[in-house]
Amino acid sequence: MKKYPKIGIRPTIDGRQGGVRESLEEKTMALAKAVANLISSNLKNGDGSPVECVIADSTIGRVPESAACAEKFERENVGSTITVTSCWCYGAETMDMNPHYPKAVWGFNGTERPGAVYLAAVLAGHAQKGLPAFGIYGRDVQDLADNSIPADVAEKLLRFARSAQAVATMRGKSYLSIGSVSMGIAGSIVNPDFFQEYLGMRNESVDSTEIIRRMSEGIYDKEEYAKAMAWTKKHCTKNEGTDFNQPAKTKTREAKDADWEFVVKMTIIMRDLMQGNPKLREMGFKEEALGHNAIAAGFQGQRQWTDFYPNGDFSEALLNTSFDWNGIREAYVVATENDACNGVSMLFGHLLTNRAQIFSDVRTYWSPEAVERVTGKKLTGQAANGIIHLINSGATTLDGTGCQTQNNQPIMKPFWEINEKEVEDCLEATTWYPANRDYFRGGGFSSNFLSKGGMPVTMMRLNLVKGLGPVLQIAEGWTVEIESEIHKLLDERTDRTWPTTWFVPRLNDKSAFKDVYAVMNNWGANHGAISYGHIGADLITMASILRIPVCMHNVEEEKIFRPATWNAFGMDKEGADYRACTTYGPIYK
């Protein structure tokens, strides 16, 4: 990312001159500055820079000042707005009318001046004009001289700002398909209308043979390739695992060494396809140097590619990880099997947390009874009610090992918090097995590790339903550790060359979360994206901005924050969400 969107702060005011407006100027602007400081002090963009806020040049009391603010925000690359006031204002004259900006309004809860009355009035205006806005109303009355932001207000401001910044960051970017549909997986049947209308994104596509062309014609940075091979030999090939293929399918040492060289070149080329590379321009490849402006990508792989060439596991795993031969850096978002629906889910998690995302098959629910039958042992602790086996063919981020720590607990960190020791630990915890050539006839290498237990995580999935559109599923829970002998017996029934994360969702009285089986039984596809942290509330807020209803979640009701107009669609929150999303439709249509 070269230029991140900013959040515009709109201080609105009572327009009556001659005593009223003058008495409120300082207070209103002080609140705007406090909101800007709250956001910039707490939220970061993907590169680690603070989220920037832009405040209108003056308070906004009448239409010309609204227009001047809008012009400034256009110049300053604003992507969302927060309107702040401590008093009554003229609602229809001061409101944000941009239909593409996610918008929120904080009306100061004070008795001296009715900021909260303006909040109610302007939210009614937003509803009447079809411009949904989030309403922020503090629980407790504040004194007029108090410019602090109460904790409940701050929580909503930050939840909106995180979600709105994620939405604005996606707009104008691309999803790049490298290849096409993988094995008939619905998520890899990429729907351009969804990307354009709901996310404001383009769809770019290249045939997989572009990778071979660039390899054959030397369209990659040779110096970087030499550096990458040295790093790979030091950290990855030394951890090459046992070849479990039958003798007839076992590659020679020479062929395996050639595969290592192939997958390293492939990683560099896939990254260049996404973001471009100025070094290619110096080499005379001006078009290839541009890339595709891709904020996320997917690689088809199976089967046309993997039946003949080394698989994409190494490339996908490294790109999805917060480090490589160039050091510690922001993780990319690359979906296995070009599952664009899961790629979008990963992108949501990444933009909300600035952390690497786990891509996994939601492979197997293991009931306590089935585990005991197969292993002769009982699941205990957090796993006692059953577990879900998250496993994929080697493309999972190495951050998912859990080898990054905070207060002696496993964590997945934003890249700027990761240290070199943690990089070494993640690499050391990963074994690179020669690919299972029953699945991957062309060979390659798959990563293998076991995620540490005790990490709070959120599993999510976007699905497309004909006649309904996109829907989002959310399941907050934890990674868990199980007895090593149980893990070995269960893991080897699937594939011992792939990485495993054992997951347990948080249960409640909703039908989809009454037990672990119900979560698995209600999951809408074969893949899931897993983000560190319990981010379900942020996902719900973000989904409402995008007009994507949430069909399944286990987030506490008091944490749910949607636009105020959702309250007009009935008291059943989930039903109201569907009705509101249907009524307003995608924001870019």
State the residue for tokens 């942290």.
Answer: 533
337 is catalytic: yes
CB 505 within 8 A of CB 516: yes
Residues in the chain: 589
Q: Per the residue annotation, which of 337, 476, 495, 577 is the catalytic one?
A: 337
- Strand locations in 412-455, DSSP E? 431-434, 445-448
Do the annotations mark residue 292 as ligand-binding?
no
Residue type, 213: R
Q: Report the alpha-carbon distance of residue 487 to residue 450 in Å, rounded.
A: 9
Q: Which of 446, 447, 515 is nearest to 475 (CA)?
A: 515
Give buried/exposed letters for 578-589 (b at 16+ CB in 10 A, else e): bbbbeebebbbe
CB 35 within 8 A of CB 106: yes
CB 54 within 8 A of CB 76: yes
Q: What angle in degrees, to the nearest 10, is found between the helix axes of 253-275 and 209-216?
A: 110
State the residue for tokens 């997958």.
Answer: 263
Do the annotations mark residue 47 as ligand-binding?
no
Residue 261: strand pairing partners: none
Do the annotations mark residue 337 as ligand-binding?
yes
Structure tokens at 214: 């660039």
Q: Per the residue annotation, which of 221, 361, 538, 577 is the catalytic one?
A: 361
End-to-end CA separation in angstroms for the chain: 25
Residue type, 132: P
Q: Report the alpha-carbon distance of residue 540 to residue 182 in Å, rounded.
A: 29
Q: Report the alpha-carbon distance of residue 271 to residue 276 in Å, rounded.
A: 7
93 is catalytic: no
Q: Which of 530, 553, 558 is nearest to 540 (CA)?
A: 553
Please give, one letter per residue, the 3-state secondary structure of 247-280.
HHHCCCHHHHHHHHHHHHHHHHHHHHHHHCCHHH
CB 98 within 8 A of CB 171: no
Residue 462: strand pairing partners: 472
**Positions marked catalytic:** 337, 361
From the annotation, which residues make up the binding site for Mn(2+)? 337, 361, 527
From the annotation, which residues make up the binding site? 337, 361, 527
